Amino acid sequence: MAQSSVFSESASAVSWGAVVAGAVVAAALSLILFLLGSGLGLSSISPWSRQGIDAPAFGVAAIIWITVTQILAAGMGGYLTGRLRVKWPDTPADEVYFRDTAHGFLAWSVATLATAALLTTTIGAIVSGGMQAATHVAGGAAQTGAIAMAGKHGHGAHQPGENTYFVDALFRKNAEEGTSDRGSSAPIAEVSRMLAHAGSWESLPPEDVRYLSQLVAKNTGLTEQEAEQRVHELQAKAKDAETKAKAAADKARKVSIYITLWLFVSLLVGAFSASLAATWGGRCRDA
User: Is 9 a member of any domain?
Assistant: no
Q: Indicate whether 260 and 199 sit together in one domain.
A: no
Top pLDDT among 152 and 25 is at: 25
Is the pLDDT at 221 greater than 60? The verdict is yes
- Mean pLDDT calculated for residue range 51-69: 81
User: Is 111 a member of any domain?
Assistant: yes
Q: Indicate whether 95 and 191 sit together in one domain.
A: no
What is the tens place of the pLDDT at every residue in 122-159? 555 655 555 555 555 444 444 444 444 444 444 433 44
Q: Indicate whether 133 and 164 sit together in one domain.
A: no
Q: Indicate whether 46 and 161 sit together in one domain.
A: no
Q: Indicate whether 39 and 124 sit together in one domain.
A: yes
Q: Which pairs count as long-range contacts for 133-139, CB under 8 Å and 24+ apart, including other chains? A: 133/42, 134/41, 134/42, 134/45, 134/58, 136/47, 137/45, 137/46, 137/47, 137/52, 138/45, 138/55, 138/58, 138/59, 139/55, 139/248, 139/252, 139/255
Q: Indicate whether 136 and 147 sit together in one domain.
A: no
User: Is 1 a member of any domain?
Assistant: no
Maximum Cα–Cα distance for the chain, whole Å?
106
Q: Indicate whether 166 and 219 sit together in one domain.
A: yes
User: Is 3 a member of any domain?
Assistant: no
Is the pLDDT at 7 greater than 50? The verdict is no
- Mean pLDDT calculated for residue range 83-98: 91
What's residue 200's pLDDT?
63
Q: Indicate whether 55 and 150 sit together in one domain.
A: no
Boundaries of domain holding 130: 15-140+253-286
The rounded distance, in Å, linking the Cα atoms of 162 and 241 is: 8
Q: Indicate whether 133 and 261 sit together in one domain.
A: yes
Q: Is 14 helix (H, G, I), strand (E, B) or coil?
A: coil
How many residues does this entry show for the chain?
Answer: 287
Rounded mean pLDDT of the chain? 75
Q: Indicate whether 98 and 191 sit together in one domain.
A: no
Q: Indicate whether 66 and 148 sit together in one domain.
A: no
- Mean pLDDT calculated for residue range 181-187: 55
Task: Using only the alpha carbons of the chain, give its radius of gyration.
Answer: 31
Q: Indicate whether 97 and 164 sit together in one domain.
A: no
User: Is 6 a member of any domain?
Assistant: no
What's residue 161's pLDDT?
47
The rounded distance, in Å, linking the Cα atoms of 80 and 152 is: 57
Q: How many domains does the chain have?
A: 2
User: Is 240 a member of any domain?
Assistant: yes
